[in-house]
Structure 1
Amino acid sequence: MPRAPIPTWCFALVVVRKGDQFLIVQENKPGQPWYLPAGRVEEGESFAAAAVRETFEEGGIPIRLTGVVRVEHTPLPTGARMRVVYLAEPADDTPPKSRPDDESLGARWVTLDELRGYHMRGDEVAELFAYVAGGGTVHPPDLIKGEGEPYRINR
């Protein structure tokens, strides 16, 4: 007998780094906390494409993905949640979004010290930024592949 599919929600999170600064975005309701660019992967979209799209929508800047910090899988009683945490750099000198819209109230560059002055969604952001700033392991962005892609040795 075939098994029922397991509902799985997929999210891309992006640590965008420019020198000693990191991009944070304020969620789209007044009084809401700050976070890093993140969002659900849309139907037919790759994790990488979602990371680029969410960063542009929420932060207003184009990015280049430079690595994968971590892949997370959380089994839940009602399904599962997957998150891919990417590392990225700005693709150009576009300033962060400063006008509120449906995606966010705005974005800004902050240092680790400045981050303490912001109401964050949780401790995860500071921990993640410190991990990256401290030289934590980052895997190549092509670690995540589509099913059926050929295996190749990169030298």
Structure 2
Amino acid sequence: MPRPAVPSYYFALVVVRRADRFLVVHEVKHGQLWYLPAGRVEQGEALLEGAAREVLEETGIPVALTGVLRIEHTAHAEMTRVRVFFTAEPVDDRPPKSHADEHSLEARWVTLAELRALPLRGEEVEELFAAVERGLPVHPLSLITSEGAPWR
């Protein structure tokens, strides 16, 4: 007898860095805490497209994705969650959004020291940014490809 399908959810989380500053989001949800730009990839949307879209929606900053830090896969009996951590850089010098909307309350560039003063949604943000600042390996975006793409 075939097993029923388990829903799978894909999330893109993006470390956007400019010199010694990281882009963070003051969230509408999750207790209105601070986090890195992140969100669920929509049905029919590619991971890379979803990552860039989430950053733009939440921060007002268009970005160029530059690499992959890690892919996390968590299987539960009722669902599966995949989180892909990307790196990115802003494509221009525009400031982050400062007015609330349905995606976020605001966004801001912060140093690690400034980040520590914000109420964060979990310790992973500071841990992740510190690891990136120390030189955490970044894998090429070509790590993620469409099914059936040629092997090079």
Q: Normalising to structure 1: TM-score of the pair?
A: 0.94
Q: Which residue of 2 aligns with 1:92?
A: 92
Q: Which residue of 2 aligns with 1:132?
A: 132
Q: Which residue of 2 aligns with 1:123?
A: 123
Q: Which residue of 2 aligns with 1:114?
A: 114
**Contact 2:30–2:121 (8 Å) recurs in 1:** no
Q: Which residue of 1 aligns with 2:46?
A: 46
Letter in 2 for 1:74: T
Whole-Å Cα distance in 2 between the matches of residues 5 and 30 of structure 1? 28
Q: Which residue of 2 aligns with 1:78?
A: 78
What per-residue deviation string (whole Å, max 9, x for no partner) do you get for residues 38-77 of structure 1? 0000010011101000000001100000110000000112
Whole-Å Cα distance in 1 between the matches of residues 13 and 60 of structure 2? 15
Q: Which residue of 1 aligns with 2:145?
A: 145
Does residue 65 of structure 1 match 2:65? yes
Change (3 A) 1:2 1:31: closer
Whole-Å Cα distance in 1 between the matches of residues 30 and 139 of structure 2? 36
Change (3 A) 1:29 1:5: closer
Q: CA deviation at 1:31?
A: 6.0
* Cα RMSD (Å): 1.3
Q: Which moved more, 1:142-151 or 1:15-24?
A: 142-151
- Secondary structure at the aligned position of 2:32 is classed as coil
Listed as ranges, the gaps of 5+ residues in structure 1 are: none
Q: Normalising to structure 2: TM-score of the pair?
A: 0.96
Q: Which residue of 2 aligns with 1:37?
A: 37
What per-residue deviation string (whole Å, max 9, x for no partner) do you get for residues 90-109 of structure 1? 01111101110000000000
Letter in 2 for 1:59: T
Does residue 12 of structure 1 match 2:5? no
Whole-Å Cα distance in 2 between the matches of residues 119 and 42 of structure 1? 28
Change (3 A) 1:30 1:4: closer
**Contact 1:14–1:86 (8 Å) recurs in 2:** yes
Following TM superposition, the consecutive aligned residue runs of length 4 or more in structure 1 with deviations greater than 4 angstroms are: none
